[in-house]
């Protein structure tokens, strides 16, 4: 299997998870750079070229609210989850649990090295 | 203007106007935050090469800006198979026949080569490329418009039983039409070749083969045509390829290709005599008659080679029946 194939499938796998992680992380207000750092510290490193366009897409769908504010004498854009975003996050977490339970059943053998 | 500002300026160029200011402010802030953090860790200011390395890691301004733009495409995945089908049709129905005809004209018509000496003969294809380009552009435009008009209407989502393609043909089954055509064609050709069926006569025009044709290829051609007609007759009665008949097919097609090529090697296979015409007129007529004959025979040779290769492929893949019954199909992949 080529490295490209692995990389494409890995990115595909991460894409859906990333939306969930970003929405969950933005229950508390943050600006882009600190959000990126917070995700990286929890093992989900994401480059700025992916994160900022994603934040814009979520905001354009009304799931995030943003505000330019001064901090440390510099203007920064702070994001937080909107009310619609909070509702959707709840639904997505339910779906995540269902998928997790199904996958655990399907992958059980593989995860324990007996598949 | 510093390195970072110049980088941002380059990103700005590729961004949509209405979002430029907003995106750049945020991107600028992100870059400065990263620089500050690295400077804190290092305990001193970053050098220009260090900042350059940091920007390089982010990618080219074109790529960075591109991530902010919505995904756009001219022809989407739903219509792409149709698009490639149209392009292939243009290629096979227009480009390939024209190219083959052009090659035949260049190879078999000395007068054409004389009119376009050397590499200038290549330029005679100019019209072909122009029309091909227009055809490809038009196909792209039409499919793109079709896609835009069908987008969001659920096109290609539904399916009806009647839209199914015909069932795939069994590879070892011989189409009856092919066998009938080859049998009748072979018999008519053999009768004409033997002079039993006379071609229509034009008063004053006499056409005949050169002595070399009678000496070298006349009887071999007749033998091959009769063998081919006999095989077609057998195929008509038992319309499944057997191993023996596939071998016969390959041998006959090989002989057909060989005799056709031998015919093509004869300098002037057709002799023309027109009573009352000047030598120049007769030469022109002879050139045209020989050209038509050579193109026809070249087409027969190409067909024979193609059909022989297909026969070999069927043999190699075991696509034939054993003891009069079709071979059982192997397990099929899902």
Most confident of B29-38, B115-124, B287-296: B29-38
**Percent of chain B at pLDDT above 90?**
43
Chain B residues contacting A via beta carbons under 8 Å: 23, 25-27, 29-30, 32-34, 58-59, 63-64, 67-68
Per-residue pLDDT tens digits for B26-56: 999 999 999 999 999 999 999 999 999 999 9
Per-residue pLDDT tens digits for A1-56: 678 889 889 888 888 899 999 999 999 999 999 999 999 999 999 988 889 999 99
Most confident of B92-101, B112-121, B253-262, B270-279: B253-262
Rounded to an integer, what distance in angstroms lies between the CA atom of residue A56 and that of residue B58?
18
pLDDT for A96: 94
Query: Where does the pLDDT of residue B156 fall: very low under 50, low under 70, confident under 90, or very high at 90 and above?
Result: low
Contact residues, chain B, for A75 at CB < 8 Å: 25, 29
Residue of B nearest to A71 (CA): B29
Structure token digits, residue B70 = 């919505």
**Percent of chain B at pLDDT above 70?**
93
* Cβ–Cβ gap B64/A56 under 8 Å: no
pLDDT for A114: 55
* Cβ–Cβ gap B64/A33 under 8 Å: no
Residue of B nearest to A46 (CA): B58
Rounded to an integer, what distance in angstroms lies between the CA atom of residue B151 and that of residue B134?
25
Contact residues, chain B, for A52 at CB < 8 Å: 23, 26-27, 30, 67-68
Residue B121 has pLDDT above 70, yes or no: yes
* Cβ–Cβ gap A52/B33 under 8 Å: no
* Cβ–Cβ gap A77/B64 under 8 Å: no
Question: Alpha helices, DSSP H only, in B116-217?
Answer: 126-150, 176-193, 211-212
Domain ranges of chain B: 3-67, 80-316
The verdict on A69 touching B (C-beta cutoff 8 Å) is no
The verdict on A109 touching B (C-beta cutoff 8 Å) is no
Residue B320 has pLDDT above 60, yes or no: yes
Rounded to an integer, what distance in angstroms lies between the CA atom of residue B310 and that of residue B312?
5
Most confident of B9-13, B127-131, B289-293: B9-13
Query: Where does the pLDDT of residue A115 fall: very low under 50, low under 70, confident under 90, or very high at 90 and above?
Result: very low
The verdict on A62 touching B (C-beta cutoff 8 Å) is no
Q: What is the mean pLDDT of residues B271-286?
A: 83
Give me the interface pTM, i.e. the ipTM.
0.81
Q: Which residues contact B94 (CB under 8 A, 6 or more apart)?
A: B131, B132, B135
Per-residue pLDDT tens digits for B59-77: 999 989 988 887 778 888 8
pLDDT for A51: 93
Per-residue pLDDT tens digits for B203-215: 788 888 889 999 9
Q: What is the mean pLDDT of residues B264-274?
A: 86
Residue A75 has pLDDT above 50, yes or no: yes
Query: Where does the pLDDT of residue A63 fall: very low under 50, low under 70, confident under 90, or very high at 90 and above?
Result: very high
Of A32, A49, A68, which is closest to B64 when you measure between CB atoms?
A: A49
Phi, psi of A30 (to 5 degrees): -150, 160
pTM of full prediction above 0.90: no
Among residues A74, A32, A66, A73, which one has the least CA distance to residue B27?
A32
Residue at token pair 């994160």: A51
* Cβ–Cβ gap A32/B26 under 8 Å: yes
Of A49, A75, A77, which is closest to B67 when you measure between CB atoms?
A: A49
Residue of A nearest to B11 (CA): A49
* Cβ–Cβ gap A76/B63 under 8 Å: no
pLDDT for B190: 92
Rounded to an integer, what distance in angstroms lies between the CA atom of residue A69 and that of residue B64?
24
Contact residues, chain A, for B68 at CB < 8 Å: 52-53, 56
* B258, burial (CB in 10 Å: exposed 0-12, middle 13-18, buried 19+): middle
Contact residues, chain A, for B71 at CB < 8 Å: none
Rounded to an integer, what distance in angstroms lies between the CA atom of residue B187 and that of residue B195?
12
Q: Which residues contact B108 (CB under 8 A, 6 or more apart)?
A: B290, B291, B294, B295, B298
Q: What is the mean pLDDT of residues B262-290?
A: 85
Contact between B252 and B311 (Cβ < 8 Å): no
The neighbouring-strand residues paired with A77 are A68
The verdict on A60 touching B (C-beta cutoff 8 Å) is no
Q: Which of the residues B14, B19, B23, B33 would you substitute to probe the A interface, choosing the one with the greatest number of A C-beta atoms within 10 Å? A: B33
Of A31, A36, A53, which is closest to B68 when you measure between CB atoms?
A: A53
* Cβ–Cβ gap A48/B58 under 8 Å: yes
Contact between A89 and A81 (Cβ < 8 Å): yes
Query: Where does the pLDDT of residue B330 fall: very low under 50, low under 70, confident under 90, or very high at 90 and above?
Result: very low
Q: What is the mean pLDDT of residues A79-97?
A: 96
Residue B154 has pLDDT above 80, yes or no: no
Q: C-alpha dihedral over A61, B152, B144, B84, to 10 degrees? A: 110
Residue B334 has pLDDT above 60, yes or no: no
Residue B319 has pLDDT above 80, yes or no: no
Per-residue pLDDT tens digits for B168-201: 777 778 888 889 999 999 999 999 888 888 766 7
Per-residue pLDDT tens digits for B225-248: 999 999 999 999 988 888 999 999
Of B29, B34, B58, which is closest to A76 when you measure between CB atoms?
A: B29
């Amino acid at each position: 299997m080529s490295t490209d194939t692995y990389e494409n499938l890995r990115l595909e796998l991460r894409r859906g998870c990333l939306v969930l992680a970003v929405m969950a992380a933005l229950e508390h207000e943050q600006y882009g750079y600190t959000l990126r750092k917070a995700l990286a510290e929890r093992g989900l490193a994401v480059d700025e070229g992916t994160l900022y366009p994603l934040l814009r897409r979520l905001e354009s769908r009304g799931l995030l609210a943003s505000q330019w504010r001064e901090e440390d004498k510099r203007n920064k854009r702070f994001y937080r989850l909107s009310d619609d975003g909070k509702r959707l996050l709840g639904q997505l977490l339910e779906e995540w649990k269902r998928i997790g339970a199904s996958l655990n059943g399907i992958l059980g053998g593989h995860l324990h090295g007996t598949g | 203007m510093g390195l970072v500002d110049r980088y941002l300026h380059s990103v700005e160029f590729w961004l949509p106007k209405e979002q430029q200011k907003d995106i750049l402010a945020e991107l600028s802030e992100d870059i400065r935050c990263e620089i500050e953090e690295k400077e804190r860790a290092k305990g001193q200011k970053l050098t220009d090469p260090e900042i350059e390395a940091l920007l390089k890691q982010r990618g080219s301004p074109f790529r960075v800006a591109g991530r902010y733009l919505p995904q756009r495409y001219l022809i989407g995945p739903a219509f792409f198979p149709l698009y490639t089908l149209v392009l292939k049709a243009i290629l096979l129905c227009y480009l390939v026949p024209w190219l083959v005809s052009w090659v035949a004209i260049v190879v078999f018509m000395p007068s054409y080569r004389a009119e376009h000496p050397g590499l200038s003969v290549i330029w005679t294809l100019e019209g072909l490329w122009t029309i091909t380009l227009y055809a490809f552009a038009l196909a792209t435009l039409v499919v793109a418009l079709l896609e835009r008009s069908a987008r969001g209407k659920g096109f290609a989502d539904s399916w009806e039983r009647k839209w199914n393609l015909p069932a795939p043909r069994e590879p070892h089954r011989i189409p009856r039409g092919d066998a009938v055509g080859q049998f009748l064609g072979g018999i008519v050709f053999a009768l004409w070749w033997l002079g039993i069926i006379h071609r229509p006569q034009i008063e004053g025009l006499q056409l005949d083969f050169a002595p070399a044709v009678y000496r070298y290829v006349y009887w071999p051609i007749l033998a091959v045509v009769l063998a081919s007609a006999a095989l077609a007759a057998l195929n008509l009665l038992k319309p499944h390829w057997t191993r023996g008949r596939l071998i016969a097919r390959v041998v006959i097609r090989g002989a057909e290709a060989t005799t056709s090529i031998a015919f093509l090697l004869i300098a002037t296979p057709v002799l023309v005599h027109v009573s009352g015409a000047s030598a120049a007129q007769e030469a022109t007529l002879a050139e045209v008659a020989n050209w038509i004959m050579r193109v026809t025979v070249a087409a027969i040779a190409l067909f024979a080679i193609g059909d022989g290769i297909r026969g070999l492929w069927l043999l190699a893949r075991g696509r034939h029946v054993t003891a009069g019954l079709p071979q059982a199909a192997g397990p099929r992949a899902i």
